[in-house]
Chains A and B, each alone.
Chain A
């Protein structure tokens, strides 16, 4: 049999545990505690006398019945319910008689739902599903916030690299901007038309290369701008070369 306490705590007598459906926290109960809580919940609204409890919870199962023993089990149950987030006093002590489940506490069972024609769809399973669904919605929300923040940061701070193309020549990695064609660079390397004229690629190097040249078709002159940054992995040293030629006289 299963009881729902305050809509978010489930007590399954067969599994002998109290579960908070919102957090997933679970507290396992001893066999005696399970019988005691089941007994009180079954007769909720009524006072269950200590003598009745002694017989049905303890003696019937061969356990030792005593007031101190009973008080200890009641105390454990109260602490467990409190730990799972119930702020109300679920188990009320009726002095010199026994215990009862507080009238302020909402308790429902499987049978309550089965016998109800008004709310046939609201079963404990659905309550649990709804809580799980709510948790899922929160998780999805958190995930969306995380993705949005990451995406925003990426778009805001990311800079498109200008030297996007890479050409490998022996042990050199040559980086060139998108505006330059690979064939043009390869042709420059092939014709030794670089600065410095000979790049030694026998050792690993990183080279940034940029060249701008205007080929005047009307004989106006020469315009060449060449830049090379050569960084050697071997001695961790860079050398930049800048060549500029503008002549029209």
Chain B
């Protein structure tokens, strides 16, 4: 009787631990946030300035970014308004690098930014390297970018 009770207790303990870690992992993988952003780039004779609001939804391997803002490139003004839906896969067991297995860009009505210009700030579809940097620095903050470096960040509200 005692032995059965002990086995039962061990099983209950293990199940509780597994549930705890599962819920912990699940919570960590579901994330959404919003932030303002400013981008300033000088690449030889090309200048790119952009500012707006971004929002992020991260759930498992799905990473959805929404950019709404204004963009100026070489004195020409554009509107940026699009969703970028990425499906990710861990890159070589790296903690922060993900390989983009699938990318969908949904342009909203007023988005008139040419892809070659959007591409310079992560917004474009002409992505060749298809590696994205995502760093969950803590449970509430995420940093991401395409140069193995943070370009954007936001915090859970």
Binding site for B on A (CB under 8 A): 22-23, 85, 138, 142, 145-146, 149-150, 153, 157, 159-163, 175, 195-196, 206, 208, 210, 212, 225, 227, 229, 231, 236-249
Query: Which residues of chain B come closer than 8 Å to A225, judged between CB atoms?
Result: 147, 149
* B136-155 residues at the A interface, CB under 8 angstroms: 136-138, 141, 143, 145, 147, 149-155
CA distance A14 to B100 in the complex (A): 78
User: How close is B107's CB to chain A, nearest CB, in angstroms?
Assistant: 22
Given contacts A162-B137, A175-B137, A238-B154, contact A210 B42 (CB under 8 A): no
Q: A242 touches which one: B9, B14, B37, B141 (CB < 8 A)?
A: B37
Among listed B17-25, B57-65, B70-78, B80-88, interface-contacting one: B17-25
A23 touches B2 (CB 8 A): yes
CA distance A229 to B140 in the complex (A): 13
Q: A229 touches which one: B6, B39, B147, B153 (CB < 8 A)?
A: B153
- 7 A-B interface contacts by CB (under 8 A): A23-B1, A85-B1, A145-B14, A195-B40, A240-B154, A244-B39, A244-B42
Query: Which residues of chain A come closer than 8 Å to B33, judged between CB atoms?
Result: 238
B125: Cβ under 8 A from any A Cβ: no
CA distance A238 to B41 in the complex (A): 21
User: How close is B145's CB to chain A, nearest CB, in angstroms?
Assistant: 7
CA distance A162 to B136 in the complex (A): 9
Query: Which residues of chain B come closer than 8 Å to A247, judged between CB atoms?
Result: 42-44
Going nearest first, the 6 A-B pairs with the smallest beta carbon separation are: A229-B153, A238-B35, A245-B42, A239-B36, A240-B153, A227-B150
A246 touches B21 (CB 8 A): no
B153 touches A227 (CB 8 A): yes
CA distance A23 to B3 in the complex (A): 10
Given contacts A236-B157, A249-B44, contact A153 B35 (CB under 8 A): no
A229 touches B141 (CB 8 A): yes
CA distance A210 to B128 in the complex (A): 25
Q: B10 touches which one: A142, A195, A240 (CB < 8 A)?
A: A142
**Total A-B Cβ pairs within 8 A:** 118
A227 touches B35 (CB 8 A): no
Extra A-B contacts (9), CB below 8 Å, given A239-B36, A243-B41, A247-B44: A142-B6, A159-B136, A162-B137, A236-B157, A237-B35, A237-B36, A238-B154, A239-B35, A242-B152
A22 touches B137 (CB 8 A): no
Query: Which residues of chain B come closer than 8 Å to A22, judged between CB atoms?
Result: 2
CB nearest neighbor in B for A224 = B42
User: How close is B15's CB to chain A, nearest CB, in angstroms?
Assistant: 11
CB nearest neighbor in B for A146 = B13
Q: B21 touches which one: A138, A153, A206, A248 (CB < 8 A)?
A: A153
Q: B36 touches which one: A206, A236, A238 (CB < 8 A)?
A: A238
Query: Which residues of chain B come closer than 8 Å to A229, judged between CB atoms?
Result: 35, 141, 143, 150, 153-155
B38 touches A157 (CB 8 A): no
User: How close is B80's CB to chain A, nearest CB, in angstroms?
Assistant: 14
CB nearest neighbor in B for A85 = B1
Given contacts A142-B13, A225-B147, A227-B149, contact A242 B6 (CB under 8 A): no
Query: Which residues of chain A come closer than 8 Å to B155, judged between CB atoms?
Result: 206, 229, 231, 236, 238
Query: Which residues of chain A come closer than 8 Å to B92, judged between CB atoms?
Result: none
Looking at A159, A212, A229, A243, the one whose CB has the most chain B CB atoms below 10 A away is: A229
A242 touches B95 (CB 8 A): no
Query: Which residues of chain A come closer than 8 Å to B2, judged between CB atoms?
Result: 22-23, 85
Given contacts A22-B2, A161-B137, A237-B35, contact A242 B13 (CB under 8 A): no
User: How close is B20's CB to chain A, nearest CB, in angstroms?
Assistant: 9
